[in-house]
């Protein structure tokens, strides 16, 4: 039986080795041969440039298996592969029609008068950051997920996987300017982790609660015992010793509780794995916002891939929102929560 | 830096204070970014400036990175493959947790020691599936008690989509080719260890061996232990709810199967961890706990916080008629004559020894062995006909047994049988599971129910697998009553029933607990009712009184009774202690006193258990997480 994971590893190995100048041939799903450049053979500590590949441990050559260090070595080969891709979609259908009505249907303006000024076709860059998120506490949780940010508005947009789009075209010109969305993507990724790791976080909370409870019960029992504890040969309780004992128990309980909290404290690592920069034609909808005496222009975008208007980015928390309030003087948009 | 990413430009104009300030500080210095609802601080660590990499317009390059990350996640076992494509498996958090823990930390060698009913089988099957899907194992041997073979087979197939081969009961299974060429084999331990097959089974290489109810391998002198020990395997899962039934050496033996040398030699182990006279209370507890934590996982109900519906127990006392009373009297007189009296020697060592028997050697028949005495006393507590048969088997040549056997056979319906019919008459539409220790008793109950016109099915160790499966199916869908021998006490899922009758009582409370665990377990949604039948004045009545009144066994959660019994002095098995009480006593009054004293010991044991519960949890409970 060849598992789908074994097939996935074999496919991955084949693509990687061939990309770096190797040649791979599979005799059957479990065994194959690779001819690799000398430097690659060195990297994998192979004696010759012809290497046997197998999914089974114990066979001669390289074992392509989750249990071996193949993936670790592969990561060194992958260092040579770029992680930032630049693409575009040249043509796509853009909506025509009544945006005034659409804007007012989609958005709730909580404290300002908003009027549509104009609609124009523009090209906007979307940055999709693929993160590897790792939460480490008493246990660990990890996940890989994308965060896509509209580079013009800073709004997180829930886009389909752009690498799957058939309309995708190379677009080297996109990389003239460095991307500006990383920090916003990290912020949104944190929120994403809170959602995705909900069960894990609940479990850790539960465990900590349980351990705290046990700790309290244990030391409270010790305290109760200390009330009745007499030294050898004594017939009466010594109040001074009793107080000292109590103090020592309480001190230790505090120390243990601190240790417990430290043990459960979580580290969240967000490691960007890949960035795709994609330029897409969209419709920019310019809005005139009047808040008291202040007036300011804001732009919202109609996304042709989602076929809908994108939310506005809250200037306080960074989340995208369709219920928008504005600050008094700067007329900055805020989500309902932040307003 | 070509196309390196520099933060803070356009976004500064979009995002205002305080967000911009917050962002500018991130990355370089770890910072608490939020707290969980339970107050755990989460500190963010991420590179300050995104990706520093050349650019490409080749999708393949990026996909390789993403695939590498995905495969890396699989290696970390965070994403389990086994959870996809399951049918009808309730995935409980502690089970998923256990699977991850075994995958990450145990290198495929683990003692899964969850309490009864928490889903060890599910955990083992999830692990098995994960290993298979990841290609980490190919050849798997599962050894289970004979009555569980078909249940395992059915569950592997229907719930986990795994097709295992059960070796045929023909010469094919005696040949090495079968074992060498069949990758996934499920069989019973007795089948595999038989003289004809042990060599061929152990000659084959296995990637993974799973042993269910592994406490059958607790004794290294048994064929069970020797077979598992000699199997060539890379990974081993041992499953048992009771890794320590009597003494810590049993745990040592099981763990030695998993990781020989993990607990060093038996002598070392005894010296370091076994407290003389208190086999369940180890020395160097913390050290032992740490060592156990490397090879054993034990989920307990208290840890998992599993809320099962309540259970209620009721003892139904049956008043024996004159002929029955006469039978018990005659039997008692006879057994008193043929027993070896026990004495408690001076010096209060606690050990009970058999009295010098020279005075009895001039008799025609030697004293009955402890085993024979136990069998006869248990049979007398079960059914008169069962007693008659046992007496005939054990002491048939002794003419003094003739009248007793005759009297037992004359009793057409015992008081307990009457009581059972009364109980069944009051039953509405509930499924009732009736347990009895002896096959002969089951036969008698079959006659009884036939006569009373009560529809039933029978599950006994004497049946073939097909018959057993058919019995469970009939009980599920057709008949209100299932008669069940002790072999039905292990592993069968009968949660669709909620009423259990102990027609007789095993002397070991752990076995009673196993019986209850058949219906009071995960999947049980209704209150559970347990009825214990016993004759007034019988040994069972005294035993039951002890268990219900002293330690309130039926109110304990499954698993706790073992801890209490483990606190009894002497380290003898419970059955043996009960027999000692009877052997020490010459009449009913003495027996009452003995039971009273034993009851006090039990109570002390329970108090000790309650006091040391935290310590017990320190040994086993915390290993879950």
B208 contact residues in A (CB cutoff 8 A):
none
A206 contact residues in B (CB cutoff 8 A):
38
B297 contact residues in A (CB cutoff 8 A):
none
Inform me whether the pLDDT recorded for B478 exceeds 80.
Answer: yes
pLDDT for res B318: 93
- Mean pLDDT of all residues in B105-122: 83
Find residue A146's DSSP bridge partners.
A130
pLDDT for res A167: 77
Chain A interface includes B33 (CB < 8 A)? yes
Model confidence at B340, in pLDDT bands (50, 70, 90)? Answer: confident
pLDDT for res B443: 92
Nearest Cα of chain B lies from the Cα of A281 at a distance, in angstroms, of: 18
Inform me whether the pLDDT recorded for B352 exceeds 60.
Answer: no
Which chain A residue has the Cα nearest residue B134? A5
Please compute Rg for chain A using Cα positions: 30
- Mean pLDDT of all residues in B453-462: 89
Inform me whether the pLDDT recorded for A202 exceeds 60.
Answer: yes
pLDDT for res A173: 66
B25 contact residues in A (CB cutoff 8 A):
none
Strand order in the sheet with B232-239: B184-188, B140-144, B205-211, B232-239, B109-112, B296-297
A154 contact residues in B (CB cutoff 8 A):
10-11, 14-15
B134 contact residues in A (CB cutoff 8 A):
3, 5, 66
pLDDT for res B356: 47
Token pair for B329: 């009297």
Find residue A291's DSSP bridge partners.
A294
pLDDT for res A39: 86
Inform me whether the pLDDT recorded for A188 exceeds 60.
Answer: yes
Nearest to B191 by CA among B156, B220, B221, B227: B227
Inform me whether the pLDDT recorded for B183 exceeds 90.
Answer: yes
d(CA B108, CA B102): 6
pLDDT for res B351: 45
Residue with tokens 């409980």: B92
Task: Name the A residues in 179-238 with CB < 8 Å from any B CB.
Answer: 179-187, 190, 194, 199, 201-209, 214, 217-218
Q: What is the pLDDT of residues A52-71, one digit of tens each?
A: 898 876 677 888 877 777 88
Size of interface A-B (CB pairs under 8 A): 250
Find residue B435's DSSP bridge partners.
B484, B502
- The answer to whether A178 contacts B9, with C-beta atoms less than 8 Å apart, is yes
d(CA A54, CA A34): 11
Q: What is the pLDDT of residues A279-336, one digit of tens each?
A: 999 999 999 999 988 999 999 999 999 999 999 999 999 999 999 999 988 899 999 8
Task: Name the A residues in 265-324 with CB < 8 Å from any B CB.
Answer: 265-277, 313, 315-318
Inform me whether the pLDDT recorded for B354 exceeds 60.
Answer: no
Find residue B502's DSSP bridge partners.
B435, B532
Model confidence at B67, in pLDDT bands (50, 70, 90)? Answer: very high
B624 contact residues in A (CB cutoff 8 A):
none
Of the listed ranges B21-35, B105-119, B338-352, B378-392, the one predicted with least confidence: B338-352
Inform me whether the pLDDT recorded for B406 exceeds 70.
Answer: yes
Residue B374 CB burial class (10 angstroms; 0-12, 13-18, ≥19): middle
> CA-CA distances (angstroms) from residue B290 to A138, B271, B274, B287, B434?
16, 17, 16, 5, 42
Select the more confidently predicted residue: B95 or B573.
B95
pLDDT for res A1: 43
Considering A52-66, A239-253, B20-34, B567-581, the range whose residues carry the highest mean pLDDT is A239-253
Q: Do the bridges between strand A113-136 and strand A266-291 make them parallel or antiparallel, or are there none, so unpaired?
A: antiparallel
Chain A interface includes B8 (CB < 8 A)? yes
Q: What is the pLDDT of residues A247-257, one digit of tens each?
A: 888 888 888 88
d(CA A267, CA A137): 7
- Mean pLDDT of all residues in B249-263: 86
DSSP states of A255-317: HHHHHHHHHH-EEEEEEEEEEEEEEEEEEEEEEEEEETTEEEEEEEEEETTTTEEPPEEPTTT
- pTM value > 0.80: no
Mean pLDDT for all residues in chain B: 81
DSSP states of A96-142: -S-HHHHHHHH-EESSSEEEEEEEEEEEEEEEEEEEEEEEESSSEEE
A331 contact residues in B (CB cutoff 8 A):
none
- Answer yes or no: are the C-beta atoms of B127 and B103 closer than 8 Å: yes
Nearest to B580 by CA among B218, B571, B277: B571
Task: Name the B residues in 97-136 with CB < 8 Å from any A CB.
Answer: 97, 132-136
Q: What is the pLDDT of residues A80-111, one digit of tens each?
A: 899 999 999 888 888 777 888 899 899 999 99
Q: What is the pLDDT of residues B514-548, one digit of tens each?
A: 788 788 877 788 999 999 999 998 889 988 888 88
To test the contact with chain A by mutation, choose from B17, B24, B44 the residue with the greatest count of A C-beta atoms within 10 A, namely B44
pLDDT for res A97: 77
Nearest Cα of chain B lies from the Cα of A89 at a distance, in angstroms, of: 13
> CA-CA distances (angstroms) from residue A138 to A86, A113, A212, B111, B474?
39, 51, 14, 22, 48
Residue B157 has, within 13 A of its CA and on its CB side, a CA count of 12
DSSP states of A134-166: EEESSSEEEEEEEEEEETTT--B-----GGG-T
Inform me whether the pLDDT recorded for A149 exceeds 60.
Answer: yes
A178 contact residues in B (CB cutoff 8 A):
3-6, 9
Nearest to B140 by CA among B125, B121, B122: B125
pLDDT for res B26: 43
pLDDT for res B412: 86
- Percent of residues, chain B, with pLDDT higher than 70: 81
Which chain A residue has the Cα nearest residue B30? A267
Nearest Cα of chain B lies from the Cα of A59 at a distance, in angstroms, of: 14
d(CA B380, CA B389): 10
Model confidence at B13, in pLDDT bands (50, 70, 90)? Answer: very low
Of the listed ranges A115-124, B66-75, B266-275, B490-499, the one predicted with least confidence: B490-499
Inform me whether the pLDDT recorded for B358 exceeds 70.
Answer: no
Q: What is the pLDDT of residues B40-61, one digit of tens each?
A: 999 998 887 778 778 888 899 9
d(CA A277, CA A153): 15
- Percent of residues, chain B, with pLDDT higher than 90: 31
Which chain A residue has the Cα nearest residue B70? A144
Inform me whether the pLDDT recorded for B345 exceeds 90.
Answer: no
Nearest CB to B64 within list A78, A87, A138: A78
DSSP states of B276-287: TTBTTS-SSHHH
> Angle formed by the axes of helices B266-273 and B248-258, to 10°?
130
Inform me whether the pLDDT recorded for B164 exceeds 80.
Answer: yes
A127 contact residues in B (CB cutoff 8 A):
none
- The answer to whether B56 contacts A182, with C-beta atoms less than 8 Å apart, is no
d(CA B55, CA A125): 15
> CA-CA distances (angstroms) from residue B231 to A58, A158, B167, B268?
19, 54, 17, 25
Nearest CB to A142 within list B43, B76, B93: B76
Task: Name the B residues in 42-61 with CB < 8 Å from any A CB.
Answer: 42-47, 49-51, 53-61
Inform me whether the pLDDT recorded for B304 exceeds 80.
Answer: no
pLDDT for res A128: 95
């Amino acid at each position: 039986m060849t598992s789908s994971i074994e097939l996935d590893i074999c496919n991955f190995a084949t693509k990687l080795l061939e990309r770096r100048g190797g040649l791979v041939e599979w005799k059957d799903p479990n065994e194959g041969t690779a001819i690799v450049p000398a430097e690659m053979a060195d990297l994998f500590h192979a004696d010759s440039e012809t290497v046997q590949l197998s999914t089974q441990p114990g066979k001669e050559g390289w074992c392509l298996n989750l249990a071996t260090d193949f993936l670790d070595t592969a990561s060194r080969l992958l260092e040579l592969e770029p992680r930032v891709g630049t693409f575009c979609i040249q043509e796509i259908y853009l909506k025509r029609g009544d945006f005034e009505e659409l804007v007012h249907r989609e958005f709730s303006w909580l404290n300002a008068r908003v009027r549509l000024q104009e609609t124009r076709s523009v090209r906007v860059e979307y940055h999709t950051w693929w993160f590897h998120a790792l939460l480490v506490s008493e246990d660990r949780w990890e996940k890989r997920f994308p965060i896509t940010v509209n580079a013009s508005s800073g709004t997180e947009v829930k886009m389909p996987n752009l690498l799957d789009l058939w309309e995708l075209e190379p677009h080297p010109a996109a990389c003239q300017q460095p991307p500006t969305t990383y920090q916003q993507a990290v912020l949104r990724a944190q929120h994403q982790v809170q959602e995705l790791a909900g069960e894990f976080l609940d479990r850790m909370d539960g465990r900590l609660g349980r351990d705290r409870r046990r700790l309290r019960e244990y030391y409270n029992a010790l305290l109760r015992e200390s009330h009745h504890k007499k030294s050898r040969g004594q017939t009466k309780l010594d109040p001074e010793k009793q107080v000292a004992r109590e103090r020592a128990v309480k001190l230790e309980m505090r120390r243990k509780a601190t240790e417990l909290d430290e043990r459960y404290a979580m580290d969240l690592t967000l490691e960007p794995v890949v960035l795709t920069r994609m330029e897409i034609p969209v419709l920019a909808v310019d809005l005139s916002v009047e808040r008291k005496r202040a007036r300011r222009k804001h732009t919202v975008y109609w996304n042709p891939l989602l076929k809908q208007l994108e939310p506005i980015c809250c200037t306080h928390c960074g989340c995208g929102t369709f219920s928008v309030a504005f600050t008094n003087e700067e007329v900055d948009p805020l989500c309902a929560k932040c307003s | 830096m070509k196309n390196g990413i520099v933060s803070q430009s356009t976004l500064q104009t979009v995002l205002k204070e305080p967000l911009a300030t917050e962002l500018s500080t991130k990355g370089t210095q770890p910072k608490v970014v939020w707290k969980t609802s339970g107050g755990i601080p989460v500190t963010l660590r991420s590179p300050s400036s995104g990706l520093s990499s050349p650019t490409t317009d080749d999708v393949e390059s990026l996909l390789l990175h993403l695939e590498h990350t995905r495969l890396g996640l699989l290696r970390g076992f965070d994403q389990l493959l086994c959870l996809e494509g399951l049918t009808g498996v309730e995935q409980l958090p502690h089970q998923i947790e256990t699977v991850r823990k075994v995958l990450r930390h145990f290198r495929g060698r683990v003692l899964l020691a969850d309490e009864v009913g928490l889903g060890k089988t599910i955990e083992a099957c999830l692990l098995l599936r994960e290993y298979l899907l990841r290609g980490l194992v190919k050849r798997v041997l599962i050894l289970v008690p004979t009555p569980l073979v078909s249940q395992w087979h059915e569950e592997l197939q229907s719930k986990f989509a795994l097709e295992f081969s059960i070796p045929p009961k023909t010469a094919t299974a005696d040949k090495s080719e079968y074992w060498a060429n069949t990758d996934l084999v499920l069989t019973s331990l007795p089948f595999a260890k038989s003289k004809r097959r042990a060599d061929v089974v152990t000659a084959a290489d296995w990637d993974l061996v799973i042993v269910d109810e592994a406490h059958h391998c607790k004794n290294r002198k048994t064929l069970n232990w020797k077979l598992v020990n000699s199997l060539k395997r890379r990974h081993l899962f041992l499953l048992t709810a009771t890794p320590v039934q009597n003494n810590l050496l049993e745990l040592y033996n099981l763990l030695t199967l998993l990781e020989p040398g993990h607990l060093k030699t038996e002598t070392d182990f005894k010296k370091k961890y076994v407290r003389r006279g208190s086999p369940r209370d180890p020395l160097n507890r913390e050290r032992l706990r740490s060592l156990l934590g490397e090879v054993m996982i034990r989920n307990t109900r208290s840890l998992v916080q599993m809320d099962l519906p309540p259970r209620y127990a009721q003892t139904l006392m049956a008043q024996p008629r004159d002929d029955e009373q006469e039978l018990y009297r005659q039997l008692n007189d006879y057994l008193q004559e043929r027993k070896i009296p026990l004495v408690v020697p001076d010096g209060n060592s606690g050990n009970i020894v058999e009295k010098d028997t020279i005075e009895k050697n001039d008799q025609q028949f030697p004293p009955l062995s402890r085993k024979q005495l136990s069998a006869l006393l248990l049979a007398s507590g079960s059914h008169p006909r069962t007693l008659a048969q046992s007496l005939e088997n054990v002491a048939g040549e002794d003419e003094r047994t003739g009248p007793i056997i005759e009297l037992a056979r004359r009793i057409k319906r015992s008081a307990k049988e009457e009581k059972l019919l009364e109980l069944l008459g009051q039953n509405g539409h509930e499924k009732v599971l009736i347990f009895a220790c002896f096959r002969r008793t089951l036969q008698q109950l079959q006659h009884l129910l036939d006569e009373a016109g009560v529809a039933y099915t029978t599950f006994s160790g004497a049946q073939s697998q097909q018959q057993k499966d058919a019995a469970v199916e009939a009980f599920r869908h057709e008949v209100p009553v299932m008669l069940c021998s002790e072999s039905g006490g292990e592993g069968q899922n009968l949660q669709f029933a909620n009423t259990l009758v102990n027609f007789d009582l095993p002397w070991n409370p752990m076995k009673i607990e196993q019986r209850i665990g058949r219906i009071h377990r995960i999947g049980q949604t209704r209150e559970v009712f347990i009825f214990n039948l016993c004759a007034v004045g019988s040994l069972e009545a005294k035993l039951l009184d002890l268990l219900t009144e002293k330690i309130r066994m039926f109110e304990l959660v499954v698993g706790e009774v073992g801890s209490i019994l483990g606190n009894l002095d002497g380290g003898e098995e419970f059955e043996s202690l009960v027999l000692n009480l009877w052997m020490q006593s010459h009449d009913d009054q003495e027996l009452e006193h003995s039971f009273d004293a034993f009851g006090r010991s039990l109570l002390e044991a329970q108090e000790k258990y309650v006091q040391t519960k935290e310590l017990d949890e320190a040994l086993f409970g915390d290993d879950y997480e």
